[in-house]
Amino acid sequence: MENETQSHERLICSARNSKPVVVVLGAGASKACCPNGDVHGNCLPLMTELPAVLGVTAELVDRGWKQYIKDFEKLFIEARKAGDDDTCTLLSKRIDEYFLTLQLPSRPTLYDMLVMSLRPKDMIISFNWDPLIVHARRRSPFPAPAMCFPHGNVALSYCSECKLVRPRSGICPKCQHDMKPSELLYPQPDKNYDTSPFIRDQFELVKQGFRRAGIVTIFGYSSPSTDVFMKQAISNAWGTPDVRDLEEIEFIDIRSEMELYEEWRGIIHSHHYHTIPCFKDSWLNRFPRRTHEAFWDTHMDLLDPYFPMCPPETHDWAELRAFYARLTNAE
């Protein structure tokens, strides 16, 4: 019987052109990344916390929106329906200003671990406006996963002519035309993913990711009731549960298994899912950069299970780089 060291060597050498891992990020993921705030102590808000964090509670009360203070989704929709453009503009402006200030701490964070645990064949789909996952990808020293942002992101710019997405900047390096900051998709009764070329292109990437995925990890994302269009698009791209009998869905969420199952039952095949409360216990963290290989070899080919190969719990960048280098060198 192989020991832990032999198992790890077998896992490292198992890299192959396996199906992609797709990770869906919601506000709960950014909250878990910086539970005590960003490098300056600024809060990573959930939607229920957004008006208070933005410092607009008093203004919203004065404008007659007190009943929606803890329901940003409903607040923005009702303000738009009422034709209160001033309130919508206020919220949009404060969101852009606030999220642009957010920065990762200098030490390694959960998002750094997430990015380094994925390969270029994999994809991160972030529904968050905050820039933290973009910053984590930029400072990763290893080949990183693809990313898409169907609700936009404050850290990005877009060239509609070249369809080029870059960190927020002024000039497209390809055509030399002005790049526009990514549009943010705000709550609306039925979210429209055709509002701009950027949002439309990102929406198409979401569908491509789900079509190809072998494992989907949904991390801290609660699909809003107004996002029926996105849920339907995901369901159509993924296919009916009976044709997805070789794939796995992982939920990283503090909500109950029953609640998560009911929310996503349209894409779950039988028992091919599991729920965990934190990233530490995920397939991604236990088998970084070999996630689908470890799952397939163990559950489909019925090979001897691998010993988990978790990254070290450290704030030392050199130690982390050395750990991931063993994996990337074998790719």
At a CB cut-off of 8 Å and minimum separation 6, what does 219 contact? 23, 24, 25, 26, 28, 29, 32, 252, 253, 279
Whether residue 130 contacts residue 100, with contact meaning beta carbons closer than 8 Å, is answered with no
pLDDT at 192: 79
Distance (Å, rounded) from C-alpha 201 to C-alpha 160?
A: 10
pLDDT at 205: 96
Q: How far is CA 316 from CA 31, 116, 182, 329, in A?
A: 22, 15, 34, 20
Distance (Å, rounded) from C-alpha 174 to C-alpha 9?
A: 43
**Model pLDDT for residues 311-322, shown as the tens digit of each residue:** 999 999 999 999
User: Which residue intervals of 228-316 are DSSP H helices?
Assistant: 228-238, 257-264, 283-286, 291-299
Whether residue 49 contacts residue 43, with contact meaning beta carbons closer than 8 Å, is answered with yes
Write down the pTM of the prediction. Answer: 0.95
User: Where in the chain do CATH 3.40.50.1220 domains reside?
Assistant: 4-35+107-153+189-328
Q: Work out the mean pLDDT of the chain and round it to a whole number.
A: 93
Task: Inform me whether the pLDDT recorded for 169 exceeds 80.
Answer: no
Distance (Å, rounded) from C-alpha 76 to C-alpha 238?
A: 30
Task: Inform me whether the pLDDT recorded for 225 exceeds 70.
Answer: no
**Model pLDDT for residues 101-157, shown as the tens digit of each residue:** 999 999 999 999 999 999 999 999 999 999 999 999 999 999 999 999 999 999 999
Band (pLDDT 50/70/90 cuts) for residue 14 is: very high
pLDDT at 178: 87
pLDDT at 191: 75
**Model pLDDT for residues 244-288, shown as the tens digit of each residue:** 999 999 999 999 999 999 999 999 999 999 999 999 999 999 999
**Model pLDDT for residues 197-212, shown as the tens digit of each residue:** 899 999 999 999 999 9
Tokens of 215: 């494992």
Task: Inform me whether the pLDDT recorded for 177 exceeds 90.
Answer: no
**Model pLDDT for residues 19-59, shown as the tens digit of each residue:** 999 999 999 999 999 999 999 999 999 988 999 999 999 99
Select from 175, 171, 152 the least CA-distant residue to 162: 175
Band (pLDDT 50/70/90 cuts) for residue 226 is: low
Token pair 């990763």 in the structure block, residue? 140
SS3 content of the chain, % helix, strand, coil (to 5): 45, 10, 45
pLDDT at 1: 78
Distance (Å, rounded) from C-alpha 5 to C-alpha 280?
A: 21
Select from 169, 167, 164, 165 the least CA-distant residue to 155: 167
CATH number of 4-35+107-153+189-328: 3.40.50.1220
